[in-house]
Every structure is written in structure tokens, then in C-alpha cells.
Structure 1
Amino acid sequence: MKGVLEEEGVSIPYFYTKLGRSTKKLAILLPGKEYTTQGPMFWYANQVYLEQNFDTLQFQYPFMDIEEDKLPKLVHGMIESFLQQHEYDSIHFVSLGLGSTIVAYSLKQDVFSNVQCVWYSPYIHQDSVLDALLNRPCKGLVFLGDESELVHEEGARLIEEKEHLIIAQVGGNALFESVSIEINIETMASIAATIKQFIQHQKIELIEEKTTIRVYFSLYGNNFPLDAVSEKLGLQPTNLDKDGNPIIPPIPTNHPYPESFYHVTDWELSTDDEESMDLEVQMSQIIGKLRSKVPVINELRDTYGLKSHLQVVLHVHYGKSPVMTLDKKVIEFAHQIQTEYIDFDVYVFPFDENLSFG
């Protein structure tokens, strides 16, 4: 919902997203001087808050001709007027640069209860903002760019000592108010995940992702009876796909998703995505269940005109690549059932060296 809020003769556009379900939580997004809420830092933050059952209110004052020293009082008045018309019992402020002066002013008024803050590169060189960070005990997550000219070294040291604040250093990025700000997608994903943890727990737990392996065996063809295959093999499949059925996206989305359909019928037996540094472990789990079924697999292949393949899905984190040996028993099994191929689907995730916590 788009609209305009007015205070002392000044009008500022806003964008208000209200969830279809009822919520008492609101995130107020206050961008920088030249960085709008459509920039990636605010776009991702907005999505995270919506996913966490918050309504969101985005102010659109960047590039407007408003005196900076008057902006905090004006926007604070607009926020108060807005909240008089809407009932919320939890408020989160998300600000960048100039927006932090608005948060500092609002916190000083002591009119909001149950307030938490996400600060992107706050103006800690300004006394009002530094005072708000140090002396207003609301929980806060502070992102500082170590290349920013606006990072006040003494102020940064002081806020790092405060227990109610979590300090995240975004290395290699100048988190300042500029339309040319650049943050790589991996770092942006880490920032979004950090905000999500902060919303849920008011603390950050550093979780190191582990390399995982999943192996699955697939029997596929045209419209064959899946139940008959399960019965013949004496195994319960981990996944079934039917020719002509719609393909459901793996991650729900509010955006239009082009409708598509399966073109083959598929019977699968799979391991879980398991932490592993040796492919032999997961491959043995699958082969161990199927080795005695070789005659049945071949009979099903001939009866229904089926094909088969073995698939390895590998997620490599922190450069920890597992042993990827295909031993004799795997090769023999693949030959005995005349499998089409053994495929490796490898996802290598980059090191995230651009986000650290003080």
C-alpha cells in the first residue's frame, strides 16, 4: 500500500506491506541519504521481516530536499501518527546512515515499548546516534563496513563493549550512503541470515555448514505402475514423480512461477543429505539395498521399458571436498543393471570471509 505521511507541512511517501494474517509486529525501514529501500540491503531485510510475520513500513525520503537536522523530528512525528492508526506491540527499526539519526531521535523519546534495532553503518560519529547505541538498552544488531569513512574508531570500540549490541564487521564493503554501494550476493545472503537469527533469538549463533552427500537410484520411463515396482522390489521409495503431474517449486514463493510438468514417471530410492567426507558411505547405503534386487530390476526394465541411473548430489562447504571414489562393487552393480550413467551434481559454496562478529 502506497501513501504519504505529513508532518509540519512536509510530506514523505511510504510503502506499507500488511500481511494477510494478523500480526502485532512492525518493522520500520529508514534508508540512507542516497540509498532507497529498493537497494539490496533493505530489499532482503524487508523479505526477512515479512517471512518472520512482521508488517513493514518503508519510508521513501532519499533524494528529497529535506534538511537533515529536521528529518529525525519530522519522521518520528509521522511514525507516531501512523501508530495511532495501527496497533502494534513490537517495533523493529532498520536503518542505514542518515536513517540512524531518526532511530536515535525516536529512542530518546521513550514512547515505544518492545523495540529492537538493526543498524546498517549508523552515524556513530554523531553524538545523538552514539548516545542511543550506548545508553538505550534495546537489543541491537549493528553492521559496520570497515572501509567506510563514516566509521568512528573510538565510537566503534565503545559500542563493541555493550552487551545489548551485536557487532558484525562487513569486510571489503563500504557500508556508507551511496547509490554505488556494492555487496556481493554471498555476503548479502549472510547478512539476511544474520538478521533472521537476530529476529528469532536476539543473538547470533555461528553455524559452520558441513559438506554433505546424497545418493539416489532412479528407475524412470513412460507411465509405468509405480506401486507394482515398489511391490516387486520390496522397497518403499523416497520419491515418486508421475508423468503429467505439475512440478512444485522446492521453495515456496509469492512470485509467479511458470507452470511445468513432469515428462517421465520416476521411482527413486535416496539417502538423506548427510554430513560426509567419503562418497563410499552413502553409495554403500544405496547399493546395499539394491544389490540383491538386480534380477528384479532387470525384469522391470524389460517389462516396462525402463532406464536407470545413479545420482550423487554434493554440497561442498569451506573447501572441504570429500573422497569421490567409485569402487568395484559400484561399477559391477551399474554394469549388471545396465544403468544409463552415474551423474555428479556438485554445488561448491564460496568462503564467506566478509562477515565477522565482534
Structure 2
Amino acid sequence: MFKVKTDFIKGYKGKDIDYTVLSTDEHVSKLAILLPGAGYTAQAPLLHYSTGVFSHKSVDVLQVNYTYNDKFYDSFTMDELVEAIKHDVGTVIDKVLEENSYDGYYLVGKSLGTIAMASLLDKEIFYNAKAVWLTPLLNRDDVFESMLHSRNESLCFIGDDDTHYNAERYRQFANNPKLVSRLLEGADHSLQYKGDPVRSIDLLKTVIKKIDEL
């Protein structure tokens, strides 16, 4: 049985950013940080079952529950939205780490969350973190460069029917021995197969099994 703590911080331009910490033991030494997509929340399948995997291993889980598809952000340029993402995620993590100490980390980012991941992996505290890139935004230079040059033990899952897939950039990941990448033929940005729910469930099982083995 785990404890659930929900709280919030004042984020970029005063917007409340909710977060949830799920803990299984007072003496846990590792933390998994889940960074959702714009409309793909921590309750969506990939992140929901990732939470279950980490909780089963007695790893605390931090879900950063931002809502960048909210009308509050309608007037934001992409550059300002990126600034908000980095600021908000960093502020949430700082607050959680003021209250708890850990000596090991996992970072799991989905889509928009991979922007925050790319900036976090530059921080000394995350030099040895294990990273999971779910449908990363490969057309963004910051995300691509972080993945290409990262020294973190990492997994990447992306479909070739994902609008953010970039074949030329993906091929270069073979040059990073720390990054295990898997291209999923026919899978879309949700890592699903359109019109084929049973096959999509099989894919979900494959991804979660690999995360469990990380």
C-alpha cells in the first residue's frame, strides 16, 4: 500500500501546477519523475502503468500534473511555453527534494515532457539517472541533442506514424551506446495502432515490460 500526497506550486506567471507524490516506504532511496504530454496525463496508459512498475519496485513516483493545453497558455509562443515547462518542472522537483532525499532517479517523459527531460539531464543531480523517452519531439534540437549525446542509460520508443518522428535523426541514435531505441512500425504519437486496440494493448505490454527491466 502506498501513500499519496497531492500539492501544488505557483508556476510560471503564477499558474498553479499540481503534482502528486506516491510513496511506498519512508526509507525509499529512488524517485521516478513522470513528465506527461500536453494532453497525455499521468493517468493515461503508458504513464499509469509506469507508475505501477516503479511502485512495485518500492520506488517513489512524482507525477508533475501540468496542463499546457489550458486556455491560460493560448497566447504563449512556443518559446515562452518551453520556458514555462522548464520553470514549472524545475520548481516542482526542487520542492519535492526539499522534503525528501534520494540517491537514484528515473526520468520518464512523454512528448512535451521530453522538453523538460532534456533540460533536467544537464543537471548534476541527474547525471546517473535512467531515462525513458516516450514519443520524443525529435524535430526539436534540444531534445535530439540531449538524446544523441546523453551518457544516461536510456530507452526510447517512437512510432514511424508519429508526426514527431524524424528518420534521419533517429538513425543517428545508433551512435549512442547508452541509448536503446525502438522504432515501432505503424504506431502513432500515442504509441497505438489506429483502429487496432488489441494490437495496441500488446504494444503497451511490450513497452511497460522494457521499462520494468530498466
Query: Among residues 167, 174, 185, which one is paired with 2:201 in the alignment?
Result: 185
Is residue 69 of structure 1 aligned with residue 69 of structure 2? no
Percent identity over paired residues: 25
Q: Find the residue that maps to 1:81 and give its secondary structure.
A: helix
Q: Relative contact order: is structure 1 or structure 2 higher (C-alpha 8 Å, sep ≥ 6)?
A: 2
Is residue 60 of structure 1 aligned with residue 65 of structure 2? yes
Please give the per-residue CA displacement for 1:268-298, whole angstroms capped at 9, x wherever unaligned: xxxxxxxxxxxxxxxxxxxxxxxxxxxxxxx
**Contact 1:28–1:94 under 8 Å retained in 2:** yes
**Which structure shows the bigger proportion of residues in helix conformation?**
2
Kindly tell me: are residues 138 and 80 of structure 1, through their superposed partners in 2, closer, same or farther at Cα, counting changes over 3 Å?
A: same
Corresponding residue for 1:174?
Answer: 188
How many residue pairs get matched? 197
Q: After TM superposition, give the deviation of residue 60 of structure 1 in Å.
A: 1.2
Please give the per-residue CA displacement for 1:87-119, whole angstroms capped at 9, x wherever unaligned: 011111111110000011111233434211111
Q: Find the residue that maps to 1:125 and give its secondary structure.
A: coil
Q: Find the residue that maps to 1:184 and give its secondary structure.
A: helix
Structure 1-normalised TM-score? Answer: 0.51
Corresponding residue for 1:116?
Answer: 130
C-alpha RMSD of the superposition: 2.2
Q: After TM superposition, give the deviation of residue 77 of structure 1 in Å.
A: 2.6
Runs of 4+ in 1 over 4 A off after TM superposition: 180-183
Query: AA paired with 2:208?
Result: A
Kindly tell me: are residues 177 and 3 of structure 1, through their superposed partners in 2, closer, same or farther at Cα, counting changes over 3 Å?
A: farther
Query: AA paired with 2:124?
Result: D
Q: Which runs of 5+ in 2 are unaligned?
A: none
Distance 1:177 1:144 in 2: 7
Distance 1:3 1:74 in 2: 13
Corresponding residue for 2:116?
Answer: 102
Query: AA paired with 1:24?
Result: S
Structural mapping, 1:1-358, within 5 Å: 1-8=5-12, 9-20=14-25, 22-62=27-67, 63-64=69-70, 65-66=72-73, 67=76, 68-70=81-83, 71-176=85-190, 184-198=200-214
Q: After TM superposition, give the deviation of residue 177 of structure 1 in Å.
A: 9.2
